[in-house]
């Protein structure tokens, strides 16, 4: 097995290595060897034209305040409208927060849903990543969307996994990625940082030697030569051959290496917040480079990438924290949109930005907003959708929809549709062999985004 040994040096506040390296292809997940994993995915065809549909999901940990971002109510009383002012956008008659000037310039590239309903009310990533409520799950648990897409569509390229998990490691465990559920280790989205980096190993290469590019290159070359000797001396089954292809390919490694990116493009995304700008009591970070990493990964052939961003659970200091975090999201998301258009990916890659619920319209005594499950929001872009529109309207205090409530399931239906998956017919089998539809009865993709 190919591993990177981490001796503990060069680590960031979130526990990730200074330089992000990778666990290729889901090596030895849940007891599966890489050849076994590849064999399990053998019925999934590759893309024939070199292009593929993809989704980048950005999970705003903790529940972002819709009233301070995309649904301001300037005519409401002061204890509801808050401190932020609305500004005009590139869509006539549409305003968003003054803290989001870059997205305001690009609102014609976005579909803003102001009336997302159906929140489970849990401080958890589960609903944003699976589309399902947490209660009454089938045996093994509901799978995440990356695993469903891996199961139904498989990898685009034999050396690149279908799903990538770029979640940070969070102290509040329900925030962490829920995983493959009943689809099992075969379709577990692969995490190219943190603990999973320990499942890669280059012989005699430790993290304190990763800065020596010549030594690292030599180690990769040695591994490639050894793998060629194995091929020459053995009669290998196709899946072991493919496993060796994964281990010796540079496609995924290059995608994860941000040193290969144009410095000007990389700078446009902003600097990573590795020290936490005092908006998170648990140290959750705004890692701007993950937006860029997500774009590079879908270009390399990944179908689904999920990213966590910062912390929005502000029961106190809503406005002081908002001034720190919301502009970072504004910069990173705007840079991602620019990048998708620069690379002509706006018709192939769907971006969705959301959290598990919204925040209370009324500001509490600590200048914070508490949990609010009646309404939240989502920003979508790309995917060939008819963007440049706002869907839904809330009442005068942004408490609940008065027009066009949109369920989490409808947004998932839209994501699957954009990936070319027919939710009326596609099913996945649970641990009892029972076919399960991807959406609950009665839900489909948003007609407004078809």
For residue 243, the model assigns a pLDDT of 53
- Quick one: tokens of 41? 């995915």
More confident residue, 274 or 373: 373
Helix (H) or strand (E) holding 389: strand 389-391
- Quick one: tokens of 335? 């840079």
> Rounded to an integer, what distance in angstroms lies between the CA atom of residue 314 and that of residue 366?
10
Task: Report in angstroms the alpha-carbon separations of 306 from 102, 143, 173, 236.
Answer: 22, 14, 17, 34
pLDDT tens digits, 163-216: 999 999 999 999 999 999 999 998 999 888 654 443 333 334 444 544 454 555
Percent of the chain residues topping a pLDDT of 90: 71
In the 8-state DSSP scheme, what is residue 260? G
Side-chain-facing half-sphere of 10: CA atoms under 13 Å: 14
* CA–centroid distance for 377 within its chain: 17
Burial annotation 54-85 (CB, 10 A radius, 16+ → b, else e) = bbbbbbbbbbbbbbbbbbbbeebeeebbbebe
Locate the domains of the chain by residue range. Answer: 53-194+258-449
pTM of the model: 0.83
For residue 6, the model assigns a pLDDT of 39
Please, which pLDDT band fits residue 231 given cuts at 50, 70 and 90?
Answer: low
Please, which pLDDT band fits residue 13 given cuts at 50, 70 and 90?
Answer: very low
Mean pLDDT of 315-321: 97
For residue 359, the model assigns a pLDDT of 98
> Rounded to an integer, what distance in angstroms lies between the CA atom of residue 342 and that of residue 340?
5
More confident residue, 296 or 4: 296
Residue 394 · residue 115 · CB < 8 Å: yes
Residue 169 · residue 15 · CB < 8 Å: yes
CB-based burial of residue 371 (10 Å sphere; 0-12 exposed, 13-18 middle, 19+ buried)? middle
- Quick one: tokens of 206? 């430790």
Residue 387 · residue 351 · CB < 8 Å: no
In the 8-state DSSP scheme, what is residue 44? S
pLDDT at 140 over 90: yes
Packed helices 318-342 and 289-300: angle between N→C axes, nearest 10 degrees: 30
For residue 286, the model assigns a pLDDT of 96
Residue 192 · residue 20 · CB < 8 Å: yes
Side-chain-facing half-sphere of 184: CA atoms under 13 Å: 13
Residue 311 · residue 284 · CB < 8 Å: yes
Residue 440 · residue 409 · CB < 8 Å: yes
pLDDT tens digits, 31-83: 444 455 455 444 444 444 558 999 999 999 999 999 999 999 999 999 999 99
> Rounded to an integer, what distance in angstroms lies between the CA atom of residue 388 and that of residue 340?
16
Mean pLDDT of 235-253: 63
For residue 29, the model assigns a pLDDT of 38
For residue 209, the SS3 value is: helix
pLDDT tens digits, 397-415: 999 999 999 999 999 999 9
> Rounded to an integer, what distance in angstroms lies between the CA atom of residue 281 and that of residue 274?
14
Mean pLDDT over the full length of the chain: 85
pLDDT at 17 over 80: no
For residue 214, the model assigns a pLDDT of 54
Please, which pLDDT band fits residue 219 given cuts at 50, 70 and 90?
Answer: low
For residue 225, the model assigns a pLDDT of 61
Q: Look up the CATH number of domain 53-194+258-449.
A: 3.40.720.10
For residue 275, the model assigns a pLDDT of 86
> Rounded to an integer, what distance in angstroms lies between the CA atom of residue 37 and that of residue 215?
30
């Amino acid at each position: 097995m190919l591993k990177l040994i981490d001796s503990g040096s060069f680590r960031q506040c979130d526990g990730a290595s200074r330089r992000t390296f990778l666990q290729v292809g889901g090596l030895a997940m849940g007891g599966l060897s890489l050849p076994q994993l590849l064999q399990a995915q053998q019925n999934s065809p590759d893309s024939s034209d070199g292009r593929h549909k993809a989704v980048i999901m950005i999970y705003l940990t903790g529940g972002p305040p819709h009233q301070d971002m995309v649904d301001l109510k300037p005519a409401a009383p002061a204890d509801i409208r808050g401190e932020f002012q609305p500004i005009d956008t590139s869509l006539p008659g549409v305003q968003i927060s003054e803290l989001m000037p870059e997205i305001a310039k690009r609102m014609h590239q976005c579909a803003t849903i102001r009336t997302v309903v159906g929140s489970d009310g849990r401080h958890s990533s589960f609903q944003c990543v699976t589309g399902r409520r947490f209660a009454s799950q089938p045996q093994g648990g509901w799978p995440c969307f990356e695993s469903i897409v891996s199961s139904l569509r498989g990898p685009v390229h034999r050396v690149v996994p279908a799903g990538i998990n770029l979640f940070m490691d969070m102290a509040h465990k329900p925030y962490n990625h829920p995983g493959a559920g009943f689809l099992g280790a075969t379709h577990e989205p692969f995490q190219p940082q943190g603990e999973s980096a320990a499942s890669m190993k280059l012989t005699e290469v430790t993290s304190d030697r990763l800065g020596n590019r010549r030594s690292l290159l030599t180690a990769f070359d040695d591994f490639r030569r050894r793998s060629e000797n194995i091929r020459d001396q053995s009669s290998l089954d196709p899946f072991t051959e493919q496993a060796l292809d994964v281990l010796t390919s540079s496609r995924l490694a290059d995608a994860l290496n941000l040193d290969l990116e144009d410095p000007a493009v990389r700078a446009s995304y902003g600097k990573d917040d590795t020290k936490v700008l005092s908006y998170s009591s648990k140290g959750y970070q705004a890692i701007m480079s993950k937006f860029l990493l997500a774009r590079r990964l879908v270009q390399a052939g990944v179908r689904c990438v999920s990213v966590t961003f910062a912390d929005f659970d502000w029961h106190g200091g809503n406005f002081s924290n908002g001034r720190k975090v919301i502009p970072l999201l504004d910069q990173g998301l705007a840079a991602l949109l620019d990048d998708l258009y620069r690379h002509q990916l706006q018709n192939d890659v769907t971006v969705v930005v959301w959290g598990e619920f919204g925040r209370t319209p009324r500001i509490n005594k600590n200048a914070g907003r508490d949990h609010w499950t009646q309404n939240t929001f989502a920003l979508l872009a790309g995917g060939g959708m008819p963007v440049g529109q706002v869907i839904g309207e809330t009442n005068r205090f942004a408490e609940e929809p008065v027009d066009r409530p949109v369920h989490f399931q409808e947004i998932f239906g839209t994501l699957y549709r954009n990936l070319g998956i027919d939710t009326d017919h596609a099913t996945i089998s649970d641990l009892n062999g029972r076919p399960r539809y991807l959406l609950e009865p009665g839900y489909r993709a948003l007609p407004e985004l078809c």
